[in-house]
């Protein structure tokens, strides 16, 4: 019988954040993940990209890759799971990528957005949007 998937909607409440982080990070280290980054994200990265936001970052594998590619960019990563962010910070430190600013934020609470209103040059999300309703995704993109 396959291993049950963690409840990604409430990882801190369910106590499954560490298990989910290990699963996410293992997936992020697979060659397919690097190939997807090369095909879908790397072409977007150039000298004009200065401010980056990774929404629902999980272990921040995408933010870490972007920070490594764009050493002068400000990379910010948000997730609603405090435990996920602790794992992400530990991984970033181990990789020597200490300049990613990581903050707790539930995307459904616009008023709690941890950054000043402004324009990001690139906004990415690799795992979060599947947990939102269609209207919530449309609203997020519009913002």
Tell me the per-residue pLDDT of 44-81, one tens digit each, with 9 for 90 and over.
Answer: 999 999 999 999 999 999 999 999 999 999 999 999 99
pTM assigned to the model: 0.84
How many CB atoms are closer than 10 A to CB 61? Answer: 23
Q: Smallest Cα–Cα separation from 42: which of 61, 65, 13, 59? A: 65
Q: How far apart are CA 1 and CA 108, in angstroms?
A: 34
Tell me the per-residue pLDDT of 81-101, one tens digit each, with 9 for 90 and over.
Answer: 999 999 999 999 999 998 899
Tell me the per-residue pLDDT of 7-24, one tens digit each, with 9 for 90 and over.
Answer: 556 777 677 788 888 888
Q: Smallest Cα–Cα separation from 105: which of 91, 90, 123, 122? A: 123
What would you measure as the largest C-alpha separation in the chain, in angstroms? 48
Q: How far apart are CA 62 and CA 88, in angstroms?
A: 11
Q: Strands 100-104 and 122-124: what pairing?
A: unpaired
């Amino acid at each position: 019988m396959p291993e049950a998937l963690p409840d990604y909607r409430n990882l801190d409440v369910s106590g499954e954040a560490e298990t989910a982080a290990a699963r996410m990070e293992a997936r992020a280290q697979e060659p397919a993940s690097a190939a997807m980054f090369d095909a879908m994200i790397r072409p977007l990265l150039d000298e004009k990209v200065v401010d980056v936001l990774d929404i629902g970052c999980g272990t921040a594998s995408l933010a870490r890759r972007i920070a490594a590619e764009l050493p002068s960019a400000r990379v910010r990563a948000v997730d609603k799971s405090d435990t996920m962010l602790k794992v992400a910070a530990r991984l970033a430190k181990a990789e020597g990528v200490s300049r990613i600013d990581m903050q707790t934020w539930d995307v459904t609470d616009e008023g709690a957005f941890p950054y000043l209103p402004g324009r990001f040059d690139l906004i990415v999300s690799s795992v979060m949007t599947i947990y939102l309703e269609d209207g919530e995704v449309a609203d997020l993109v519009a913002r």
